Copies of this chain bind each other. A is one copy, B any other.
């Protein structure tokens, strides 16, 4: 077995010890005589797995008691519809457009009500986060929506928008559990787990209970997308994505063992600093994002020469650095350095970039 350094934007690198445990428990989970994949979701042993996963997540994020946690299927893309279906009681919402995923979320919401785009960074290819301290938000919106970390463009909201008293809904797929978060500032935090937390196929939605107390806003909401029903049934209305939740649970325990979200933040800042410092000093490579808005998770960079970019991607792959090619919509390179990427992965990448720069200058 030899492992590469995997800089994929998602699905992405997972902690080796989590994968080892999954392998060891594959045929027989803790002496119960079956794989977690084979267990009834109504069995006592699985109930412990899902309950413990929720408890560990609550501990890690310090989730207040008046917030519900649900594990659902469908991808963030399905939640794009779930947000207006559940929350658009007055039929209007404000969206801040900082990239492709916020744009797609807004487009989907337009099927169900009025969408007001209150800010955007489309003018500069989403390379920054717009000033959201004093936006013109209509009084009658149901919520203000952001994509908090923009996987494709490598930007992050370091300050939450001033929503002027409206509920904040945030897609945190690509920064989930990467640092401490004050859940009470949000109405809804949600994310797909396939970047920082587990295998694709699980979304986690954290929602303040009063927002869903009366059930969904729209009658056309499928039962499976009714957050109140999912919450009342503790994510067991139907068969959940059992194995994925089990892996997430292991990652939660790994983060706890590593010291929790404060420690994760330090670890992530350290890795990002190594890479950004190099980009800022290099004559060949440069970051594409305004410094104040740089993501700790996704680091896009270019050489300014498409042929050289291609050469870099090919040679880095040959050297054991996988998935450094930028998103098909923007080109260049991107290193996603999620929680499970070890520091030496980034150090070795920077050493490789230095060598490449020397050889190609």
Contact = CB atoms under 8 A, between A and B. Distances in A.
Nearest to A5: B33
Contacts of A6: 33-34, 38
A200 interface: yes
A64 B343 CA distance: 51
Interface stretch (A91-99, A242-250, A274-282): A242-250
Given A11-B242, A200-B239, A243-B244, A223 B41 contact: no
Q: Looking at chain A, what size class is its interface with the partner chain? A: 35 or more
Given A74-B78, A200-B242, A224-B77, A1 B28 contact: yes
Interface in A82-122: 82, 108, 111-112
Contacts of A39: 8, 11
Copies of this protein, total = 2
A223 B27 contact: no
B8 A243 contact: no
Interface string A1-40: 1111010111111101001101110111001111101111
Interface string A202-224: 10000000000000001110111
A43 interface: yes
Interface of A: 1-4, 6, 8-14, 16, 19-20, 22-24, 26-28, 31-35, 37-43, 73-78, 80-82, 108, 111-112, 192, 194, 198-202, 218-220, 222-225, 237-244, 247, 320, 322-323, 328
